[in-house]
Amino acid sequence: MTGESSLVTFGVVEPHLATLRLVRLALSQQGLRVPAELDVATRIKQELGAGLAPCVVLYVDDPALLLEAVIFHKGAALLVPLPVVVSGNSRHTAIFVRGIEARLAGDLPACVREPLLNLHARIVRAVETIAEREGSHLIAG
């Protein structure tokens, strides 16, 4: 692909905060962790004074998969954790999971590709337990 990757969108007919809790629970049930997150709406409000619908980026990983990838290729730490965006309002929330193709482009050895594919599949499975898939779209990478 030339600078594009896919974006899978899921929808939940729940308020943003409730969905955020559901996403965290679903991820933990897949053995995944959220070691970092970014509240995009709050940051934009603080930095630029602009209001924005609630939007949080969860950075998702599995420490064992991260270890596996980094043992074989130190640069794999640039690829993990994977971001998951949760954005919504008081009635509906969208969850966005970026496709893994763009991150796998290049000369990554199989020992790095497999952990990334595994992590991505587990994230998608987790989100599918709480949300309806709405579609896939191409985005500029």
Helix (H, G, I), strand (E, B) or coil at 108: coil
Residues composing the chain: 141
Q: Which of 125, 94, 129 is nearest to 14 (CA)?
A: 94
Q: How far apart are CA 24 and CA 3, in angstroms?
A: 30
Query: Could you list the pLDDT tens digit for every one of the 141 residues in the chain?
Result: 344 568 889 999 999 999 999 999 999 999 999 999 999 999 999 999 898 999 999 999 999 988 887 888 887 888 889 999 999 999 999 999 988 876 676 667 777 788 888 999 999 999 999 999 987 665 544
**Pairing mode of beta strands 82-88, 4-12:** unpaired
Residue 94 tokens read as 């969208």
- pLDDT at position 1 is 39
Question: Tokens 């729940």, residue?
Answer: 14
- pLDDT at position 28 is 97
- pLDDT at position 78 is 81
The topology under which CATH files domain 4-140 is TATA-Binding Protein (3.30.310)
* Domain-wise residue ranges, the chain: 4-140
- pLDDT at position 2 is 45
